[in-house]
Amino acid sequence: MIENSNNQVAEELSLREVIEQYSRYWYFFVIGAAVALFVAFLYLRYTPQLYQSQATIIIKDEKSQSPLEMAAFSQFGSFLSRFKNNQIENELAIFNSKRIISEAVKNLQLNIKYEVMGNIKTSEMYGYKPFEVQYQSFVESDSREPIPTLYIEMISDSQFVLEDETRSNKTTHKFGERIPLFFGEITVLPNLDAREKFEAYLNRTILVSYSSVERVALDFQSRVNILNTDAKSNVVELSIQTQNKAKGQDFLNELIQQYNKDAVQDRNEIARKTSEFIESRLQIITRELDSVETNKEDFKSTNRLTDIQAEAQITLENASEFNKRQLDVATQLELSNTMIDYMKTSSANELLPANIGISNENVGTAVNNYNELILYRNKLLQTSTPKNPVVQSVNEQISQMRNNILGSLENSKNALKIAMKDLNVQENIISSKISQVPAKEKIFRGIERQQTIKEQLYLFLLQQREEASIALAATSDRAKIVDSAYGSDQPVSPKKPLIYLGALLAGLLIPFGGIYSFYLLSTKVKSRKDVEKQLKSIPIIGEIPKVQKGDSDLIQHNDRSIMAEAYRILRTNLQYLFINKLEESEKGKTIIVTSTIKGEGKTFVAFNLALTLAITGKKVVLVGADIRNPQLQRYLPEHLKANKGLTEFIVYENLEVSEVITKSEYNENLSIVLSGAIPPNPAELLMQKRTAHFIEALQKEFDYVIMDTAPAMLVTDTIIINKLADITLYVVRAGYTDKRLLEFPQDAINDGRLANVAVILNNVDIQNFGYGNKYGYAYSREERSLLQRIFNR
């Protein structure tokens, strides 16, 4: 239970540290959110708004079948469903084709754009326009340069000022005047139907830009959405987003109209071809029927025949069924010959007549499929060349299908001939039974048979012609409009709530990411927590704040600054380290001040610590034990820097301790021992017995002996004299010391190279400092700016 409680407390502390890590930079989040929201406001202010327009239609199924036929093909339901889906997809492709969209753009003149110039941005004009620019002609050129934008300013109801795209040349013209320009000629006509609206645009600059129909059609083709919402139905939804709602509605309505127009033209073309074919056959059959009737009349007149059938009535009644079969076969044979002759004489690009009465269902289906391929190939040729692989593939299919139709007709023709041959044989048998009938009767019956065949074919073609005429007259639109185009009153893009929400999140995430990256990539010690994580077993007895600009590096007399209080806290914490150590001894306490590398402020800390201890009345001596790179003289006047120091005492055995001690000008209780001359063998020099003798002598005379030593990781000097000290103060500089370097003091303690170590965190930023103004308690009156007071800087 205790372990779980400790884990929970650790997790809470960790979460609180993370929150504090970011909350101390709250002003970055406020500024980031404010800037992001302002940018979002500007974006929404100057970004064109888009409105959604949509329409709903139903594509009629021209190949719908009767209930009996559907029941007969119910077992092929999945196949029919796939065929239906493919049909809808084909129609959607036609809807979204550049050819259909180009017609809609051309009819609505959407390739000519009118915009009124505002103070900051231009707004598109649609619907009412104060004038209309008619592009009368264009100069033929191979450069294909875009036609420049025209700037037109109406100065009255009869005159206007015209500028080119560079706006360097102004010319005044009258409405209706034919104006020659380098790209062609234009005419500007005023729209005076609404006088008040016209006058509202006086002295305002209107931009007129012309684009090719193809380019505008491609733009609309990329933006229009045509979807079959339900695969089980023929319902199609069309939608588009435009800056002007009325423009989108007009475009969708015109697109539907152009689609219906195209579908009607396709169906009328088939009906006209069929009608022309039937009309040509009727003329031939009419002449043949007249010829047969004339032969019958001449035969009866020549042979003076009246009622020949009465003589062979009984025999003919028995052969009536046989004659009927002969007529049917002869009719089909004639139709087959006619169709074969037409296909051999007609071009491969022409449509074939459909539904002319051929009983072979395969031929009728093949003819319909052939006509559909011809129409599909013609549509492809409108938008591509004959060398297009798709067109060539379709041409191969057409050629193959035409050959198949001819083959089917030839096979049907041969079968009919065989059937007719069999019927003729049977006719001879019957003729032998009526041998009593004169030969004239047989000739007469042949003439009548020909007459009946021609009459049936003539009546059939008349019926087909009427049906084709009715189909041509009753052609209806392919797309039934369910809902005409309508648009939303509110813009669909840009979405204000989403933009503001995204901007707010970005404004918060960018500072968050920056702070996170800063802490993630930074390897420097920032605060007390960074040291505690690395050196868990070493106590931190003090935090020294960063010296502000203009402040003194050293503690002054009666100093009430945050830094002075930090050293007082350090002095107090230091006393706890000396508990049970040398309590009854009369010797002074020895303190070593060191660091990992150069520049971490050990000399600064040692000098101020010595001043702080001296203020209490204790006798303190500060020894410059860094004999490789002395820094203590920085805080001494020039005339004292040449004094003898530690190096001279160790080298010259006749030199007394008192000869190297110098009184400090900062405090009467503070004495200083300089490093002295830099020796060639500093490590060996510190190992001499004179070094220990020197420290013992100082301990007898002073209450505190503070030694400013060399960096512990760079040289071995500190390790050598560490055994002579009571406490080792290890200085870590915030914002300078690498966290990875903190592994060295931990390893040195574990190995026994350093003993009795305590850490001092130097140069702590005020916002990471654990005392003083952070909690609203200061020892000096500070003059801070408003921003510093707001941000607690």
Q: What is the pLDDT of residues 29-79, one digit of tens each?
A: 899 899 999 998 888 877 778 888 888 888 877 554 333 333 333 333 443
For residue range 395-405, what is the model confidence (pLDDT) as tens digits? 888 888 888 88
Helix axes 439-473, 245-303, angle to 10 degrees: 170
Looking at residue 623, its pLDDT comes to: 93
Q: Rounded to 5 degrees, what are φ and ψ at 555?
A: -75, 135
Instruction: Note whether 721 and 625 are within 8 A (CB).
Output: yes
- Name the phi and psi angles at 420, rounded to 5: -65, -35
Which sequence spans correspond to the domains of the chain? 13-47+494-521, 95-257, 522-791
Residue 585 pLDDT: 57
Q: What is the pLDDT of residue 304?
A: 57
- Span 254-293, pLDDT tens digits: 888 888 888 887 777 777 777 777 777 777 878 777 777 7
Range list of β-strands (E), 376-428: none
pLDDT of 580 higher than 70: no
54: β partners: 239, 486
Residues 6 or more apart from 6 whose CB is under 8 A from it? none
Mean pLDDT of 411-422: 82
Q: What is the reported pLDDT for 793?
A: 45
- Look at residue 716 and tell me whether its pLDDT is greater than 70: yes
69-83, 208-222, 575-589, 683-697, range with the lowest pLDDT: 69-83
pLDDT of residue 436: 47
Question: With contact defined as beta carbons under 8 Å apart, do 145 and 136 qualify?
Answer: no
pLDDT recorded at residue 563: 87
Q: How far is CA 70 from CA 77, 85, 94, 775, in A?
A: 9, 17, 28, 88
Is the separation of the CB atoms in 343 and 398 below 8 Å?
Answer: no
Report the distance separating Cα 79 and Cα 699, nearest Å: 108
**Token pair in block for residue 542:** 């003090």
81 pLDDT band, cuts 50/70/90, is very low
Asked: is 522-791 a CATH 3.40.50.980 domain? The reply is no
More confident residue, 86 or 99: 99
pTM for the structure as a whole? 0.52
Residue whose token pair is 């920085």: 634
Strand partners, 217: none
Higher-confidence position of 759 and 45? 759
Does residue 789 have a pLDDT over 60?
no
pLDDT of residue 70: 39
H or E stretch including 216?
A: helix 213-223
Note the pLDDT tens digit of each residue in 631-664: 888 877 776 777 888 898 888 888 888 889 988 8
Are 116 and 131 a contacting pair, CB within 8 Å?
Answer: no
- The pLDDT assigned to 140 comes to 66
Identify the weakest region by mean pLDDT among 194-208, 261-275, 435-449, 498-512: 435-449
Tens digit of pLDDT for each residue in 326-370?
788 788 888 878 888 877 787 777 777 877 777 777 777 888 888
In percent, how much of the chain has pLDDT > 90?
10
Averaged pLDDT of the chain: 79
Residues in the chain, how many? 793
- Gap between the Cα atoms of 17 and 145, Å rounded: 64
The two structure tokens encoding residue 597: 């590398």
